[in-house]
Amino acid sequence: MVADASEGVTRPDRAGRGGPAPDGARDEFLRTLRRETVVMARFRARLMAVIFVAAFPVSLALSYYASRTTGPEFTPFPTLSIAALLVALIGFEWLLVRRLERALAEDGNPSRWLAHVSGIVEMTFPTLLILAVEQGLDDPLLALGSAGPWAYFPFIVLATLYLDLWIAVASGVVAAVQYLIVAKVLVDSVLAQQGLLDAAPREVLMFFHVQKALMLVITGVIAGFVAREIRRRTLRSFEQARERQRILSVFGQLTAPEVVDELLHRGGDGTPERRHVSVLFLDVRGYSGFAESAPPEEVVDYLNRLFDYTIAHIHRRGGIVHQLLGDGLMAVFGVPVSRGEDTRRALDAALDILDGLDAFVQAEGLPPTRLAMGLHCGEAVVGLVGSPIHKEYKVTGDVVNVAARLEEICKLHDARLLCSAAVIDETGFEGADDLGPQPIRGREQPLRVYRVR
């Protein structure tokens, strides 16, 4: 009883680009959505039955009121006719509920034509109500001013529960057509009695009823667009949740949640691109001797606690941990999104780690720990690299090699943090020791290096 719920949604593929996606999760979601639509249709049918039951005492009250206020233009209120109509409609809704419950039990999806049929049948209630009221009036046109015509609107609005544009629009059109037919029959009847069938009053009277019919159609269109928007937003929420899960699978273990949220907001898809980044390499000095003498479980616990400390500072400054390298790590600032002043953030993260290290080691009861770090900034290509089966987020370029080499030569200069001249120039940091041009393994030209700590 719902149209294809995939309308208007673009599905990202495994590589993060628009295109066909694995259908398992989506198909399961669509099946759930269709089932919930059937549940809503059943709720609607039950609600309609309750409305029709409640109409019994209302009709009795109106009958009593009419009997007490009958004037020359009134005859007794047609309670029996209305009661018979209500009984028929309650029976129809009961059958509809049974049909929908059978569909739910069989995990099926009833044809949308069932929704159209039920809409047509339900729209006959206001129509027959007008005709029933007309039976008790000397002037049939008074029936068109009764509550009957207004009863179309709640039925049209309830059609939004099908989450289908065309079902709601069809409900409005059916209501308008039925109302126009009834209005024409009653107007012609009155004018024929007065011998004015070919006179202008017919067009004048029908003009006002055409306006009412047009409002019914407009209401159906509005209800239809509301229904479609609800369905689209539901699907969009699902796609966004799935896209978030995809990005979390790539970045969730690398960076802080707020960075993932910002990447989602900006719509990044991991396509390789050239970016200005800052790369920080960190290594634990003396780790090999500790790992040789300590039990493996103690070594793992030591690394986990130390990484927890260092990674927290990196995330706090907006960086991502690109790789864990045994007793060290590689962190990158400026990807997957730049927060501005990325090199300054990287330098601050390194300083935060060094400033709080001794207190952390003492508080945690860890063995004496010495870190060495190298920091460099420059151009790199960043993005997802690999095959459709397996992809990894990579930062590729000379900036990575230089940062790693700076961390390596820390021991030659009795340093805990070495930075390139590019980092010092970009951040304007003062107080670093200028070590002059230094040979860097893998590079032909020496690099000017500064010892920050």
Distance CA 62, CA 68 (A): 10
Question: Does the residue 18 lie in any domain?
Answer: no
Confidence of residue 380 (pLDDT cuts 50, 70, 90): very high
Q: Is residue 334 a part of any domain in this protein?
A: yes
Q: What is the dihedral of CA 67, 73, 75, 76, to 10 degrees?
A: -30
Does 5 map to a domain?
no
272 in the same domain as 136: no
- Those residues whose C-beta lies under 8 Å from the C-beta of residue 446, and which sit 6 or more positions away, are 437, 438, 439, 440
**Predicted local confidence at residue 419, as pLDDT:** 93
Residues 92 and 193 in one domain: yes
| Whether residues 298 and 152 fall in one domain | no
**How far apart (Å, rounded) are the C-alpha atoms in residues 96 and 130?**
24
Whether 280 and 374 map to the same domain: the answer is yes
Q: Does residue 15 carry a pLDDT above 60? A: no
Tell me, yes or no, whether 212 and 288 share the same domain.
Answer: no
CATH number at residue 273: 3.30.70.1230
Choice between 284 and 78, residue whose per-residue pLDDT is larger: 284
Q: Which of 219, 248, 277 is the last residue of a domain?
A: 248
Confidence of residue 399 (pLDDT cuts 50, 70, 90): very high
**Residue 236 to residue 19: CA distance in whole angstroms:** 15
326 lies in the same domain as 406:
yes
Query: Which one, of 321, 318, 371, lies nearest residue 347 by Cα?
Result: 318
Distance CA 322, CA 173 (A): 60
How confident is the model at residue 78, as a pLDDT?
55
Q: Last residue of a domain, which of 210, 227, 248?
A: 248
Mean pLDDT of 73-102: 70
Give pLDDT, residue 420: 92
Residues 181 and 87 in one domain: yes
Q: Specify the higher pLDDT residue, 355 or 68.
A: 355
What is the pLDDT at residue 374? 94
Same-domain pairing of 244 and 261: no
pLDDT at 13: 41
Higher pLDDT, 311 or 392: 311
Give the pLDDT of residue 262.
56
Residue 153 domain-assigned? yes
**CA neighbor of 342 nearest in space, from 333, 354, 351, 350:** 333
Q: Please give the pLDDT value at position 109.
A: 63
Residue 400, in any domain of the structure: yes
Q: What is the pLDDT of residue 152?
A: 84
Based on the structure, what is the number of domains in the chain? 2
In a domain, 375, yes or no: yes
**Tally: H helices and E strands in the chain:** 12, 8
Contact 2, 109 (CB under 8 A): yes
- Number of neighbours of residue 446 by Cβ within 10 angstroms: 11
266 and 235 inside one domain: no
Q: Which of 196, 226, 248 is where one domain is finished?
A: 248
Q: Are residues 200 and 272 in the same domain?
A: no
The string of pLDDT tens digits covering residues 215-267 is 989 998 998 898 888 888 877 777 777 766 666 666 665 555 655 665 566 55
Are 80 and 201 part of one and the same domain? yes
Assess whether 152 and 208 both reside in one domain. yes
Residue 332: the pLDDT is 92
d(CA 269, CA 241): 15
- pLDDT, residue 63, reads 63
pLDDT interval class at 281 (50, 70, 90) = very high
Region label for 384, one of left (φ > 0), alpha (ψ between -120 and 50) or beta (otherwise):
beta
Percentage of the chain beyond pLDDT 70 is 73
**Residue 363 belongs to what domain range?**
257-451
Residue 14 counted as domain residue: no
Specify if 17 maps to a domain.
no
